[in-house]
Structure 1
């Protein structure tokens, strides 16, 4: 069983900003690996000579800015994606919770999968824009900026082009959820102790393992999805896609027939390498932002540690704590009467 817990000492806006800032920072730092991964999936000429040569070719043709193409739209997508994902996840989880507030691991992962599909539906046009911006040559761009990309695709290819390949997001959610479930169901055997006793480092390793296994299982669906997002008769060389196809099924067939089954996992090296720094930066940055918020709310004595403020009831919510603060101020507590008074 798994318990769904949040830190009630943060406001909703603070939690949202912590997640958003951590996501932007980790995505920006690992953007070069994401660019190489997507170019490998699409099959552009940069990926023909292998993983390390891809970096060299991108630098030679587009310089350093080529490694951060599409990063802005990727970061912008985080906020609506996180908001929809969190809202949908909570609603689904509430439907499956027992009277004690617990939910099975499998149902929690399934809820996460459904929430991910709902969030992807809302933000999918931005993902298409990200793919187009990454696969184009930034020295001879077809698209300039997010708005221009979206408007040009909708004008020249129709609104449905902004959702080309979305069905693969839905199909890929199933092997992704199965991969997460398989990992989490065997964590107690891996660590030889119950999940309730896992440390922060263990939870970080667990997240990396789950992401690695889940993304590997669902990777062929993402590869075909990226090819469908990139291919366009309005782009040079049809968007740089290494096969020509009509529809989802034909894309799978053409890839396997012309490039081999293993080509469905092109870019997996870059994706796997990205997992550890991405989740490491995400986790670290989130914890740092959380500490700053807890310090501002008055729960801890410093934004550099989790040492609790003496005399503060940690079970109080931020608004309740502010009410206590106002009450103490109105009572004109002296600076030496209590440690709680000292804080304010």
Structure 2
């Protein structure tokens, strides 16, 4: 009984929280670095970059797109925007895993309290908390990754990206019957409060985070409970190989459940580039994707999404667990 009380106190202590966040931040950075080139190609596909649409739709196309980027820009081209990714992913992953540990404790303080609904809820809540605090850096990253060498715009640094987004202006376009334009109220808010510009696509991201993080942590918790023993069982212990396998399955399921939301938010995030005078709204973006590509448009780049998310999630969960063991969490 005394050991349970001490464990509870330790999990609620600032030392536990900091160590949990540190393990999560390092895990996120390593995982993102492993898949950075694939992430660059996937963003170009999702955001319908005109120079790379000829490659979209096939597994081989992803590799040919990567080769094209390498030939034109070298290794740096494959990692364009990665510095901003690391700047964003450390606090994002740290907050997500740290929040998950705390939410998990409050929703499921004992093993018999663990249910699939609570696992899903803990994952969704932690994902939404993390994205709330780090979303502007995600917009910077996508903007940098969207630009190619042939682009006329010189949006190749964090400072330039910040200035471009901050000075974007929205106007009402009433003469175009083919699209639904922003209302005056929306445009006024867009121009009056410049910080809102750094939250393009935030609604799609927040909604998409519910199935992504929820399914990811649900799968992780369920599979570990199903195939791995309680921590008190000394005969069989969790290993990095087991963590990799469970993390990979969790990533595949999460990606499948949330991918349409990811495509929508990518389109909204680069809206300041493709349509600088517009504030792309949720319904307008969905209609534009449906009209141009049908239901398949919501899954463009999904194959490369699997190539990216499966190893990324596997590495992230595994390094997180190894980091927690190393730090004594």
**TM-score (norm. length: structure 1):** 0.69
Q: Is 2:283 the counterpart of 1:249?
A: yes
2:323 and 2:220 map into 1 onto residues whose CA distance is 27
Task: Report the number of matched residues.
Answer: 283
Deviation at 1:144, TM superposition (A): 3.5
Deviations 1:173-228 (A, max 9, x none): 34335644774687489x7x566467433332222112111111210111010011
User: Who is 1:323 aligned against?
Assistant: none
Deviations 1:283-330 (A, max 9, x none): 565566667656xxxxxxxxxxxxxxxxxxxxxx9xxxxxxxxxxxxx
Q: Is 2:48 the counterpart of 1:61?
A: no
Q: What CA RMSD, in Å, does the superposition of the two structures yield over aligned residues?
A: 3.7
Out of 249, 262, 271, the residue aligned to residue 296 of structure 2 is 262
Out of 121, 143, 159, the residue aligned to residue 132 of structure 1 is 143
User: Could you tell which deviates more after superposition, 107-116 or 278-287?
Assistant: 278-287
1:184 and 1:11 map into 2 onto residues whose CA distance is 21
Q: Secondary structure at the match of 1:143?
A: coil
CA distance 1:185–1:11, shift in 2 (3 Å): closer
On the 8 A contact 2:46/2:267 being kept in 1, the answer is yes
Unpaired segments ≥5 residues, structure 2: 1-7, 56-60, 170-193, 231-235
User: Who is 1:156 aligned against?
Assistant: 168
On the 8 A contact 2:22/2:94 being kept in 1, the answer is no
Deviation at 1:21, TM superposition (A): 2.8
Q: Is 2:257 the counterpart of 1:223?
A: no
User: Who is 1:48 aligned against?
Assistant: 54
Deviation at 1:108, TM superposition (A): 2.7
CA distance 1:194–1:282, shift in 2 (3 Å): closer
Q: Secondary structure at the match of 1:43?
A: coil
2:16 and 2:214 map into 1 onto residues whose CA distance is 33
Q: Is 2:205 the counterpart of 1:169?
A: yes
Deviation at 1:73, TM superposition (A): 1.0
**TM-score (norm. length: structure 2):** 0.72
On the 8 A contact 1:46/1:57 being kept in 2, the answer is no
Deviations 1:98-143 (A, max 9, x none): 5779443421321221121121111111111101000012465532
CA distance 1:76–1:60, shift in 2 (3 Å): same
Larger Rg: 1
User: Could you tell which deviates more after superposition, 42-51 or 94-103?
Assistant: 94-103
Deviations 1:65-123 (A, max 9, x none): 11101111111112322343345434533442457794434213212211211211111
Out of 200, 207, 219, the residue aligned to residue 247 of structure 2 is 207
1:174 and 1:57 map into 2 onto residues whose CA distance is 35
CA distance 1:13–1:110, shift in 2 (3 Å): closer
On the 8 A contact 1:166/1:225 being kept in 2, the answer is yes
Q: Secondary structure at the match of 1:48?
A: helix
User: Who is 1:23 aligned against?
Assistant: 28
Q: Secondary structure at the match of 2:148?
A: coil
CA distance 1:86–1:290, shift in 2 (3 Å): closer
